[in-house]
Chains A and B, each alone.
Chain A
């Protein structure tokens, strides 16, 4: 007998969405491998790692959502959900952090900021794990988003930057997609499809831009 919350259409859509995003991120990671190996360029390193972590985060988000689809909500809110929220919190925070670092790594002491980023990501994921509240992750990552936008506006007054806009949008839609899988939060199917399509489009833009340079 299927579980009470199981919705085959939602399951299929979410599976397809997670797989497409993961494959796009994996291709981005693999396409930039040679450039990094040849140059050991720190910006390329942060960029490719960020997309790898984003891809894995979307897969974990899907697993996290599966628990919502297949299991009783009480169990989901308890141990099972916590199992996924720990790596989800860590990897997605690091992904966001690395995207930021890929843009500003020349201006700071990279080693110090990488360590700081990992400490923040670990503390954040532990906090979410202990409190069993994925909403905290959304709130804190939203705070990071606001900080990132302010930073971009300050450092980017004159020059229009398509790629920074794409990054901010990827970040915004990540937060919406994450929020949508939190127990008790509901997003209509039409909006889910729309947001998923936009997310795929954003990752597709990054993939397309990379393909232009790195065959």
Chain B
């Protein structure tokens, strides 16, 4: 059962990270994002890589060479559809 919740947790963690970015006016530096997400740096690095590869977030470098993280259109869509997708996964026991 614990294993069964693992993937759900994964989708939930992604949802939480994206929500943090959105709630910070869609622009947050990596270090506060790590802090707010309550993940270990290793886990965070793993999720960060995954979110970038899935094109849910993008990294923007400003003219002072500082990195900011923003949601992509897919990121916003994920937040919008999350509850429905979870409902679908539950209904079909996926």
A residues near B (Cβ < 8 Å) are 32, 34-35, 37-44, 46-47, 102-103, 106-107, 161, 163-164, 209-210, 212-215
Contact = CB atoms under 8 A, between A and B. Distances in A.
A101 to B, nearest CB: 10
A89 to B, nearest CB: 26
Range for the number of chain B residues in contact with chain A: 20 to 34
Contacts, number: 65
A210 B88 contact: yes
Nearest to A42: B7
A115 to B, nearest CB: 21
Among B11, B85, B87, B94, max chain A CB count under 10 A is at B94
Nearest to A102: B94
Name the prevailing secondary structure of the A interface residues. helix
A43 B3 CA distance: 14
Interface stretch (B27-35, B61-69, B76-84): B76-84
Contact of B81 (A38, A47, A161, A210): A38
A102 B84 contact: no
A215 to B, nearest CB: 8
Contacts of B77: 34, 38
B78 A41 contact: no
Name the prevailing secondary structure of the B interface residues. helix
B93 A164 contact: yes
Among B14, B74, B91, max chain A CB count under 10 A is at B91
Nearest to A161: B93
Among B54, B74, B77, B81, max chain A CB count under 10 A is at B81
B85 A35 contact: yes
Contacts of B7: 41-43, 106
A212 B92 CA distance: 12
Contacts of A43: 7, 89, 92, 94
